Amino acid sequence: MSTGTLTIDLAAMAANWRALDAMSAAETGAVVKADAYGTGIGRAARRLAQSGARKFFVAAAEEGADIRQALGPEPEIYVLSGHMSGDTDMIGDLGLIPLLSSIDQMLRHFEALPATPFGIQLDTGMNRLGMEAGEWEAVRSLVLPQNPQLVMSHLACADEPDHPMNAQQLAAFTDMTDGIDAPRSLAATGGILLGEDYHFDVTRPGIGLYGALPFEHAAPVVAIDLPIIQIRDVLTGESVGYGNTWIAKRDSRIATVASGYADGILRAMGPNTQLFANGVRVPIAGRISMDSICVDITDAKDIPSALELLGPNQTVDTLAENAGSIGYEILTSLGARYSRRYVG
């Protein structure tokens, strides 16, 4: 096989959902946007539904269609981008629930699909999506009699527990929603970890389901093994890869593995990243290229047919730190060329 193997542990994903669910008295949904953070939206949604999830959150109506196909008519599927122009037929036909984030979206939905489910997204200070306090105040008396399925907002700094923005947004959300009968939702993974005050009626874990921070106790979900295409001997002073950025300081053995930045292995992580040969650290030699990576295996005694990039010895968050990024980007950048293997 000439492509890397991406192993997705669905049992670990389910365990992460159950662990986050146990942290609150709220109903726990699941965020499965961006192909379930690169893990495969259909397989992930089915496993999470088996674990008890009944509310799913996607970024776009097209993702909602994938969930509906995978799970059938029962789950509630919320569309975070709301009711966009051109989405009316899909929302209506598939029973999707748009989270309306503006007065324009509200009017579009009420005119095109009257008496169909919807939710409301409020802006409590992130200034990304949602109705601001003044807009909400202007339409609140019109919206609430229509029985929104959910009223939500999103925390900007939940991964920093001591950040003052958390308390500010909590206060704003409470002020904007106190007294309403509709279920309320403020907490994604980070918000769940902030504690009971942030939980309200529905939580929306995302990144924590897939084994990454800020859920420090998450079980790892994704593993990547990269097959060795070729091994060569390199003499002291010879270079490896584009730009001659790696020069052998000793006689070395170099393995070239199949995968590169076209597969979501970011170039920026190269100088700081190791792979593993049967548990032995083997550093990247030179630049990560589009389809291949050179690795210094000189110190490895037993050379397997593939080297571990993600797995027991190295986490998503380690790779993210090496690239100056976050686990979200690593997971959602995983390319289509991997041979996917599901376990659990």
Give CA separation, 343 vs 30, 222, 313, in Å.
Answer: 20, 10, 19
The single-letter DSSP state of residue 128 is S
Question: What pLDDT digit, counting tens, does each position of 304-325 carry?
Answer: 999 999 999 999 999 999 999 9
Verify that 254 and 152 share a domain, yes or no: no
pLDDT value at position 226?
98
Active site residue 242: yes
Nearest CA to 332 among 263, 275, 282? Answer: 263
Question: What pLDDT digit, counting tens, does each position of 17-57 carry?
Answer: 999 999 999 999 999 999 999 999 999 999 999 999 999 99
In a domain, 215, yes or no: no
**Which stretch of DSSP H or E encloses residue 246?**
strand 246-247
Tally of domains within the chain? 2
Q: Flag whether pLDDT at 1 surpasses 80.
A: no
Q: Which two tokens stand for residue 257?
A: 């593995």
Distance in angstroms (rounded) separating the CA atoms of residues 218 and 62? 29
Q: Which residues contact 311 (CB under 8 A, 6 or more apart)?
A: 220, 223, 224, 225, 276
In a domain, 175, yes or no: yes
Q: Please, which pLDDT band fits residue 16 given cuts at 50, 70 and 90?
A: very high
Verify that 127 and 244 share a domain, yes or no: no
Verify that 123 and 177 share a domain, yes or no: yes
Question: What pLDDT digit, counting tens, does each position of 205-249 carry?
Answer: 999 999 999 999 999 999 999 999 999 999 999 999 999 999 999
Verify that 46 and 68 share a domain, yes or no: yes
Residues of the chain with pLDDT > 70, as a percent, come to 100
Domain containing residue 77: 10-210
Looking at every residue in the chain, the average pLDDT score rounds to 97
Question: What pLDDT digit, counting tens, does each position of 97-117 carry?
Answer: 999 999 999 999 999 999 999
Nearest CA to 295 among 256, 266, 268, 245? Answer: 256
Spot the catalytic one: 37, 78, 210, 242: 242
The single-letter DSSP state of residue 119 is E
pTM of the model: 0.96
pLDDT value at position 51?
98
Distance in angstroms (rounded) separating the CA atoms of residues 170 and 122? 12
Residues of the chain with pLDDT > 90, as a percent, come to 99
Verify that 127 and 263 share a domain, yes or no: no
Q: List, in sequence order, every residue forming a beta bridge with 294; answer none if it has no partner.
A: 256
In DSSP notation, 1-30 reads --S-EEEEEHHHHHHHHHHHHTT-SSEE-E
Spot the catalytic one: 33, 37, 210, 338: 33
The single-letter DSSP state of residue 118 is -
Verify that 54 and 169 share a domain, yes or no: yes
Q: How many residues does the chain have?
A: 344
Last residue of a domain, one of 181, 210, 239: 210
Can you give 36-94 as a three-state secondary structure string? HHHCCHHHHHHHHHHHCCCEEEECCHHHHHHHHHHHCCCCEEEECCCCCCCCHHHHHHH
Distance in angstroms (rounded) separating the CA atoms of residues 119 and 159? 25
pLDDT value at position 44?
98
Q: Flag whether pLDDT at 2 surpasses 90.
A: no
Question: What pLDDT digit, counting tens, does each position of 135-152 carry?
Answer: 999 999 999 999 999 999
Q: Which residue has the tokens 């700081």?
A: 272
Q: Which two tokens stand for residue 320?
A: 């993210």
Verify that 203 and 283 share a domain, yes or no: no
